[in-house]
Amino acid sequence: MRALIIAAGNGTRMQPVTRGQHKSLMPLLGLKIIERVILGAREAKIREFVIVVGYRGIQLKKYIGNGERYGVRVTYVENKNWHKPNGISVLLAKKYFKENFVLLMSDHVFDPSTLKKLQRLKLKKYECALAVDRNLKSSLDILDTTKVMVKKGKVTNIGKNIESYNAFDTGMFFCTPHIFKVLEKTTSIGKNSLTNGMNVFVKRGNLRIFNNKDKFWADCDTYKDIKFAEKKLLASLTKSADGSISKLFNRKISTFMTKFLIHTPLTPNIISFIIPFLAIFTFFILAIGSYPWLLIGALMIQFLSIVDGIDGEMSRLKFMGTKWGKWIDPILDRYVDAIIIAGMAYGYWNITGNNFILPIAIFVILADILQDYMSSKFVAITGVKLITSDIPFKRDTRLLLLALGTITNQILIAFIVFILISQYKVVNRFIAAKLITEKQVSSRIQQV
């Protein structure tokens, strides 16, 4: 799949802050806006790009180059009439697109998952598709946003100044090459904008929509837009798989920290490896076992729970996510957990002298690791996920329980509760796994 990015315009409204830079070279959380467009599309498996440049095009070409350092191939098309509307830019790239392609704006950033799905639509020869956002609070600057009226999966009206609308244009199109024929006609009669072209599709009922569904997107026309995009982008870092303590509390703080760390030379992997050292520091505080150290230790446990999100957030923000990072992160988490549990147990023993804590602590760390071990092992053996409907006891909850046990000086009770909840979950999973594997077998027999 190829993508066409139009980046010729001069971005008048951004000029007060660009200081002579191309608008899409403005930074947005550690990356230039255009880099977010390219890397976002790359994550949606697009590897070939044509960028139409005009105003300060040399600057843009110099910065992006042939795309090699992004792992993609970039070709440039020059639009000397960049001061005219953007339909002309699209038309200039005609010769590069003989098949369906993705059309993107250099100033519209987005969540790759939308683009991934958008390009899977089966378009008919004369159709185009537009990703729209039906949440009318998703745009900051209503006046400058292209609005869309959607009825039954088709766009019935589009434009910045239409009166009734129920969605916003997110700037992501999936096009058939038919768009060039349409633009040839419209530009020949002086209607030079992409919206003019799209209106031809609209009139024939050929502009389909794809619902962006609360995924991140932002149009960056002004400095205010960029700040708004920053906020939305940080908020989008919360994962649907996050536990509720993480969603409600941890992510708010970790994304705040990420916002600053993203501008440092620290990479996500370095952060992953720093955290266990913070845990060792926590161990020595917890090992004292008495107030006020218990209070500090508890805060440190919660802090370790919070910073656990940062490496993932940074790698998603910078499109640096690797399978290695995804693998190493939970392993290092287990180290951190073990260090915390060891510190708590040692501190408890230090004060009470009760050596019953020793086997208990060993079962806490066993229970802790089993949570993810059982799931991963199940995937490795059966190829499917082990889905159970029992109480959530993710890492955010587990560490909160340990922090609460520490702060209230009830470490033994916290450990026992930890083990009981985990064991309940283990039994639950034994049963769920049995049902899933038996279903697999019987469905395989039926296939035969």
Contact residues toward its own copies (CB under 8 A) are 45, 47, 71, 283, 322-324, 326-328, 330-331, 334-335, 338, 341-343, 345-346, 349-350, 355, 357-359, 361-363, 365-366, 369-370, 372-382, 426, 430, 433-434, 437-438, 440-441, 445, 448
Indicate the residue among 151 and 434 with the shorter CB distance to its own copies.
434
Shortest spacing between CB 230 and its own copies, in angstroms = 29
Which is nearer to its own copies, 224 or 434 (by Cβ)? 434
> Which DSSP string corresponds to 308-333?
HHHHHHHHHHTT---HHHHHHHHHHH
What SS3 state is found at 246? Answer: helix
Closer of 135 and 322 to its own copies (Cβ): 322
The CA distance from 248 to 232, in Å, is 16
Task: Estimate to the nearest angstrom the gap between the alpha carbon of 413 and the chain centroid.
Answer: 38
| Kind of pairing between the strands at 147-151 and 154-159 | antiparallel
CB of 277 to its own copies, least distance (A): 15
Would you say 121 or 351 has its CB closer to its own copies? 351
Q: Which lies closer to its own copies via its Cβ, residue 12 or residue 382? A: 382
Q: Among residues 32 and 42, whose Cβ is nearest to its own copies?
A: 42
Q: Which is nearer to its own copies, 291 or 356 (CB)?
A: 356
Residue 195 near residue 183 (C-beta atoms within 8 A)? no
Shortest spacing between CB 358 and its own copies, in angstroms: 5
Distance (Å, whole) CA 382 – CA 343 = 37
Nearer to its own copies, 169 or 368 (CB): 368
- CA angle 21-24-26, nearest 5°? 60
The Cα–Cα gap between 58 and 8 comes to 11
CA distance 236 to 230: 10
Minimum Å gap between C-beta 71 and its own copies is 6
- Least distance from C-beta 108 to its own copies, angstroms? 24
Nearest CB to its own copies, comparing residues 290 and 322: 322
Closest approach, Cβ 31 to its own copies, in A, equals 19
Q: Report the nearest approach of its own copies to the CB of residue 434 (Å).
A: 5
Shortest Å distance, C-beta 347 to its own copies? 10
* Concatenated DSSP letters of 333-381: HHHHHHHHHHHHHHHHHHHH--TTHHHHHHHHHHHHHHHHHHHHHHHHH
- Asked if 43 and 319 touch (Cβ cutoff 8 Å), the reply is yes
10 vs 6: CA distance, rounded Å: 12
CB 181, min distance to its own copies, A: 29
Half-sphere exposure of 331 (CA within 13 A, CB side): 8
Q: Rank residues 299 and 426 by Cβ distance to its own copies and give the closer one.
A: 426
Tell me how far, at minimum, the Cβ of 271 lies from its own copies, in Å: 16
